[in-house]
Chains A and B, each alone.
Chain A
Amino acid sequence: MKLTLRVWRQKNAGADGAMSTYEVDGISADMSFLEMLDTLNEELILTGDDPVAFDHDCREGICGACSLVINGDAHGPERTTACQLHMRSFEDGDTIDVEPWRASAFPVVKDLVVDRTALDRIIQAGGYVTVPTGAAPEAHATPVPKPDADFAFEHAECIGCGACVAACPNGSASLFTSAKVNHLNVLPQGAPERETRVLDMVGQMDAEGFGGCTLAGECATACPKGIPLTSITGMNKEWLRATRKASRR
């Protein structure tokens, strides 16, 4: 198939960006969206143009590196990552807009590449269990009810891509943050740090310049791993509980 691409080009963080138009031909329906961009880049290199920079790595939908807004949707029309989006989702002759994640906490590095280190700093603020290597008790010492383990897993599936932030009209990282809060706070292993975790992570999220949550729900629609919107209400409950407890002290 033959496609018209309108791609965000921006030389570096300090430069102004703009949409540039490219034609690509000979695109197979079996190609992934990123393989389609590879095809464009091969042509750009040979014609002496600067290829389009984009983040990608595993191309299996699990590393969370890819971060494209396609026709206005984070990761495009299917509920998956851009690397797992295939060209059979498009029609011959389509015009496709490709942009980077747009959020004030994610400055553009180049073209479609953004800086998502703010998400790392939210985890650093409390998204862990303090258990130095070697200090662990025998694994079966603490049984975990299966529903709790399953609940933890469903939230632990977050790949940290940032689609939730890109999709949110407020640029909020609430879904990302709540996924980790819920994962760890439901487990007995995460209980001792339950309050400090949610307070510190939410505090860091605010400090990074992410917007507030108004439960618009766009995040959960864009999430390639299906983290539910109730994750955020769960986090809010944890936050309220921790705040009350702290105020009693």
Chain B
Amino acid sequence: MTPEADTTPEAGTTSGSAAYGTFAGYTTGEPLADTKAPKGPVNERWDTRRFEAGLVNPANRRKHTVIVVGTGLAGGSAGATLAEQGYHVVQFCYQDSPRRAHSIAAQGGINAAKNYRNDGDSVHRLFYDTVKGGDFRARESNVHRLAQISVEIIDQCVAQGVPFAREYGGLLDTRSFGGVQVSRTFYARGQTGQQLLLGAYQALSRQIAAGNIELHARTEMLDLIVVDGRARGIVARDLVTGRIDTYYADAVVLATGGYGNVFYLSTNAMNSNATAVWRAHRRGAYFANPCFTQIHPTCIPRTGEHQSKLTLMSESLRNDGRIWVPKAKGDDRPANEIPEDERDYYLERVYPSFGNLVPRDIASRAAKNVCDEGRGVGPGGQGVYLDFADAVRRMGRKAVEARYGNLFDMYRRITDEDPYTVPMRIYPAVHYTMGGLWVDYDLQTTVPGLFAIGEANFSDHGANRLGASALMQGLADGYFVLPSTINDYLARNPHRSGDDEVNDEHPAVQEVLADTEDRLRLLLAVDGDRTPDSFHRELGELMWEFCGMARTETGLRKALERIPQIREEFWRRIKVPGTGEEFNQSLEKANRIVDYLELAELMCLDALHREESCGGHFREESQTPDGEAARRDEEFSYAAAWEFTGTGDAPVLHKEDLVFEYVHPTQRSYA
């Protein structure tokens, strides 16, 4: 995998100039290709791949150990399914129980091309919508497979007892969701993620009880063990005792979620983190499209400095709520006193056919624009109204309550305002990361034996994810894709037991262990004068300003200059109380920030190098005359996979060209 370390013209244009301090820029290596997706018609590729993939004899499966890190929708479903197949699964989560993974917080729903509504939906339409919604930056083969599998997911979850919403006839209800014109979203009130996760958790629990899964809760992966170029295990810390241990396996699956917490404030759980994927990246796994982050338009605005995280309100609210701001700048009258003709329903005005249901990136940017114009509402002018007055008039309060009651309750609890009588205030917040570890069609990273599933990989959503597609992808990867493709890797029997043993004495393992222990020891030894949170908040504010909803070359260069300085200050001034041999939440936090401080730099570099706008990545320099994102397909129709070369050193860019045979790239238009 050693690339040509040449200095291309691109490296010249992007490396640091004196005016902006120095950052290392990047070099361009050999292109990257997915060699696993079969050729032929897109709708036959998954069948072909499953047929051509190697199989492991059922009697031999228990001889293979697979490590699964994470117990969310992807990890939970993968662990359960691999164990059902007969593999020996060793599974990890940092929470006290696998049921608490952050998939549980997903509200809106899960897409599936069932066409139960007879409204023109099909596998091909879901495939088309996802490729288009992702702004033509995803791989067609993967997305088509996702659409195919979507229908099986619903069957599986219903059989598990997931209590989806039903009609009076006893059949499943569906609704339309964020940016699509068919009703293909299955839901369980505003708690779809919870119900799907509990389904996976229960399947996992059955396998734990059967002795097929060895679960390590409150245990966090701190590094990846790579021996002779293959992933062979992990280093993990018992968060209760502080003990650092090694765990070995024939393959390692990362299902550790996204990296939105780089921004400090996001809708992610407080402890969601990027350490597993970043450590894997440092050990050789390429990181793809790190700048593709999704800013969700309907979150509750922040109230002050003390804010520790942001809360999402399901975007299903946009089905019936109308978004507006005052027409006049600085209009600080209460919402109900602003007459109808002095309100600007800006989404309905600018996008008449999609109105309030435009994709997330468009809705978010539009909100930012009206706030930047000085027409924002609420504290600091960082908010827009989401108004249900019309919905209450049209359907009656009872119907609104039935549909959104729990969301309204949550809003009232947090803001102390009643959304039935006063319009909600919303503002965009970091929500999901489309980027992640580069994987091929088999979901294998560039490190053989290391797989990444769910939000941890980059594969299916391109530059923007559609609503209700994250749950679909997590479960598709975990229940159906990985359990098929990992067989092919294990069938080659890469580690014949006996002559290929890895243990703690192996030099490669010694090196990883020493590295981990040194890092924690150093964090405890600095004994400076700043808390972990203070650094995290500083980094987050920088990223939100310069690598958030709108990005510019100047801003990104500023961030790239600043991040190494924060990193340097971190190692000089961090204060972590206590010891490493105990339950120490400050140490956990500080160790995660070490990785954010490196990942943030790669995100900014990726954003700087991608001199186009696409999906969630909006470069102000690249827009259409009417202010929409302008893609530059001729130069940037590729996934950017980055190879790590050292902290602060220039990474190597490997491009995977994207070929569109079925969905012809067009400029997205939602007008």
**Number of A-B residue pairs at CB separation under 8 A:** 214
Taking chain A's interface residues, is the majority helix, strand, or loop, or is none over half, making it mixed? loop
Is B172 in contact with A140, judged by CB distance below 8 angstroms?
A: yes
Is A146 in contact with B166, judged by CB distance below 8 angstroms?
A: yes
CA distance A44 to B578 in the complex (A): 12
Contact of A46 with B160 at beta-carbon distance under 8 Å, contacts A38-B308, A124-B209 already known: no
Is B161 in contact with A190, judged by CB distance below 8 angstroms?
A: yes
Contact of A136 with B159 at beta-carbon distance under 8 Å, contacts A57-B95, A62-B191 already known: yes
A240 at the interface (CB under 8 A from B): no
0/1 string, A125-143, CB within 8 A of B gives 1: 1011111111111111011
CA distance A79 to B240 in the complex (A): 30
Contact of A46 with B99 at beta-carbon distance under 8 Å, contacts A84-B410, A133-B81 already known: no
Q: Which of these, A51, A138, A144, contacts B577 with CB under 8 Å? A: A51
CA distance A150 to B80 in the complex (A): 27
Interface residues of A in 48-65 (CB under 8 A from B): 48-51, 53, 55-65
CA distance A55 to B307 in the complex (A): 18
Residues of the B chain whose Cβ atoms lie less than 8 Å from the Cβ of A125: 209
Contact of A46 with B97 at beta-carbon distance under 8 Å, contacts A30-B304, A34-B308, A140-B172 already known: no
CA distance A125 to B208 in the complex (A): 10
> Closest residue to B303 on the A side, CB-wise?
A30
B430 to chain A, nearest CB (A): 15
0/1 string, B151-164, CB within 8 A of A gives 1: 01011101111011
Residues of the B chain whose Cβ atoms lie less than 8 Å from the Cβ of A136: 152, 155-156, 158-160
B104 at the interface (CB under 8 A from A): yes
CA distance A249 to B132 in the complex (A): 60
Is B159 in contact with A137, judged by CB distance below 8 angstroms?
A: yes
Interface residues of A in 185-208 (CB under 8 A from B): 187, 189-190
B667 at the interface (CB under 8 A from A): no
Is B163 in contact with A153, judged by CB distance below 8 angstroms?
A: yes
Q: How many residues of A contact B (CB 8 A)?
A: 78
Q: How many residues of B contact A (CB 8 A)?
A: 79
Please indicate which of the listed interface residues B97, B152, B167, B168 has the most CB atoms of chain A within 10 Å of its own CB.
Answer: B97
Q: Of the 9-residue stretches B197-205, B347-355, B627-635, which lies at the interface with chain A? A: B197-205
Is B155 in contact with A59, judged by CB distance below 8 angstroms?
A: no
B197 to chain A, nearest CB (A): 10
0/1 string, B193-221, CB within 8 A of A gives 1: 01100100111011011000000010000
0/1 string, A91-126, CB within 8 A of B gives 1: 000000000000000000110010111011001110
CA distance A38 to B99 in the complex (A): 24
Residues of the B chain whose Cβ atoms lie less than 8 Å from the Cβ of A48: 577
A-B contacts, 21 of them at CB < 8 A, read A30-B304, A46-B529, A59-B308, A59-B309, A60-B410, A63-B95, A86-B414, A120-B98, A129-B161, A131-B203, A132-B84, A133-B77, A139-B158, A139-B172, A140-B172, A144-B170, A153-B188, A156-B195, A156-B198, A159-B194, A183-B163
**Chain B residues engaging chain A, CB cutoff 8 angstroms:** 77, 80-81, 84, 95-102, 104-105, 114, 116, 152, 154-156, 158-161, 163-172, 188-189, 191, 194-195, 198, 201-203, 205-206, 208-209, 217, 240, 269-272, 303-304, 306-309, 311-312, 410, 413-414, 416, 479-480, 483, 529, 531, 533-534, 575, 577-578, 582-583, 585-586
**Chain A residues engaging chain B, CB cutoff 8 angstroms:** 11-12, 28, 30-32, 34-35, 38-39, 42, 44-46, 48-51, 53, 55-65, 78, 80, 84, 86, 88, 109-110, 113, 115-117, 119-120, 123-125, 127-140, 142-146, 149-150, 152-153, 156-157, 159-160, 183-184, 187, 189-190
